[in-house]
Amino acid sequence: MNRERRALTRAGLKATAARERIFQLLESALPERHHLSADDIYARLRQSGERMGISSIYRVLTDLEDAGLVHRHHFDRHTMGRSLFELADGAEHDHMVCVETGRILEFQDPLIEARQRAIAERHGFEVVGRKLVIRVRRAGADRAP
Amino acid sequence: MNRERRALTRAGLKATAARERIFQLLESALPERHHLSADDIYARLRQSGERMGISSIYRVLTDLEDAGLVHRHHFDRHTMGRSLFELADGAEHDHMVCVETGRILEFQDPLIEARQRAIAERHGFEVVGRKLVIRVRRAGADRAP
DNA sequence: CTTATTGCAAAATCTTTGCACATTG
DNA sequence: CAATGTGCAAAGATTTTGCAATAAG
């Protein structure tokens, strides 16, 4: 049994072909572009001659999200109105989005994370998840339109 | 000339009736519920006997956002697929969303903000905006379904 | 075998656009 | 007045749903 099926089963999901395949796609996405929309996935599948209903893709992604295997994002104007999904493997990380190019960088900062937990606790909550997106621009770029 | 018209003009926008009114609505929204969707605004206007096209509301909100007077959010499953808008007055703040109730709390943390700037700079960027949403749950709540 | 999942097509949102009319500076 | 903004209705885009067929444990 492969890595994907194991992850699905461990998460309490039936290891179906569709789930396995989408999981693989997310895993194998290039580091520079591993935030995929439902449609990206649909297109990539078609490119390799496979066919999956777009509704199934949405359902699978939602299931994976519920199981904590995938994160869903709504970044910015650049991707507004569309969800982007990425694998939730390894450590949680946050995102920086360049408002000019739409480029997405990831980073990780233990201090910010600790601080978030502290703030939540102060209000009587525990952290379930976090989502930090810093909108940035190349330093020194002109502000004028 | 009132506060709203002044803010609009200062931001380089024509002080139209629609913009002024929406600005007011956002200003006067209750602190506990000041994140309004386009439809919330539409409904509130109708309740007070006013009428404004939903498309105009979207256009106004987008204009206000572009002018930096309003922030647009996409919080969570609770509000997924819908944009929520809030006035961008005063200091920037971040949000905590309870995954169980959908309740939104705001907080402000200079340390996190400073850290964000530092991280952006480290990558050669400057911060244009930030959006931190911590998904939380009441501490001690059962994890089981 | 029994239940959960998928495909398809249709529906449901939410948001944007085109164009004529109204308003603003 | 010239330029911008607004209303309406219609189009777009993304995501969800109903239901019969299929696959998984």
- Does residue B135 sit at the A interface (CB-CB below 8 Å)? yes
Residue of B nearest to A127 (CA): B136
Could you please report the per-residue DSSP string of chain A?
--HHHHHHHHTT----HHHHHHHHHHHHS-GGG--B-HHHHHHHHHHTT----HHHHHHHHHHHHHTTSEEEE---GGGTTS-EEEE--SS--EEEEETTT--EEEE--HHHHHHHHHHHHHTTEEEEEEEEEEEEEETT-----
Strand D proximity list, CB < 7 Å: A 9, 14-17, 37-39, 54-55, 58-59, 62, 81-83; B 13-14, 16-19, 51-53, 55-57, 59-60, 63, 80-81
Q: Do B105 and A123 touch (CB under 8 A)?
A: yes
Residues contacting residue A132 through CB under 8 Å, at least 6 positions apart:
A94, A95, A112, B116, B130, B131, B132, B133
Is there contact between B79 and strand C, defined as CB under 7 Å from any strand atom?
no
Q: Which of residues 42-101 of A touch B (CB under 8 A)?
A: 74, 96, 98-99
Domain ranges of chain B: 1-90, 91-145
**A56: nearest nucleotide, CA–C1' criterion:** C6
The reported pLDDT for the residue numbered B3 is 87
Q: Does domain B91-145 have CATH number 3.50.50.60?
A: no
- Mean of all residue pLDDT scores within chain B: 88
Q: Rounded mean pLDDT of B69-84?
A: 80
- Residues B96 and A120: beta-carbon distance below 8 Å: yes
* CATH placement of domain A1-90: 1.10.10.10
Closest listed residue to residue A131, CA positions, set B131, B50, B123, B30: B131
Q: Rounded mean pLDDT of A95-100?
A: 85
- Per-residue pLDDT band for B64 (boundaries 50, 70, 90) equals very high
Q: Rounded mean pLDDT of B79-103?
A: 83
Provide the percentage of residues in chain A whose pLDDT is more than 70.
Answer: 92
The reported pLDDT for the residue numbered B145 is 39
- Residues forming beta bridges with residue B97, ordered by sequence position: B104, B135
| Least confident range of A75-84, A111-120, B67-76, B135-144 | B135-144
Q: What CA–CA distance (Å, rounded) separates B117 from B115?
A: 5
Q: Rounded mean pLDDT of A115-142?
A: 87
| Least confident range of A23-32, A77-86, A109-118 | A77-86
The reported pLDDT for the residue numbered A76 is 67
Q: Do A120 and B129 touch (CB under 8 A)?
A: no
Encode burial over A71-105: b for 16+ CB neighbours within 10 A, e otherwise. bbbbbbeebeeebbbbbbeeeeebbbbbbeeeebb
A with B: how many residue pairs have Cβ under 8 Å apart? 108
Looking at the predicted structure, is the pLDDT value of residue A145 above 60?
A: no
Cα-Cα-Cα-Cα torsion A31, A37, A41, A42, nearest 10 degrees, comes to: -160
Looking at the predicted structure, is the pLDDT value of residue A50 above 70?
A: yes
For B17-42, what is each residue's pLDDT tens digit?
999 999 999 999 877 788 999 999 99
| Helices and strands (DSSP H and E) totals, chain B | 5, 5
Q: What CA–CA distance (Å, rounded) separates B68 from B88?
A: 7
Residue A24 CA to its chain's centroid (Å): 14
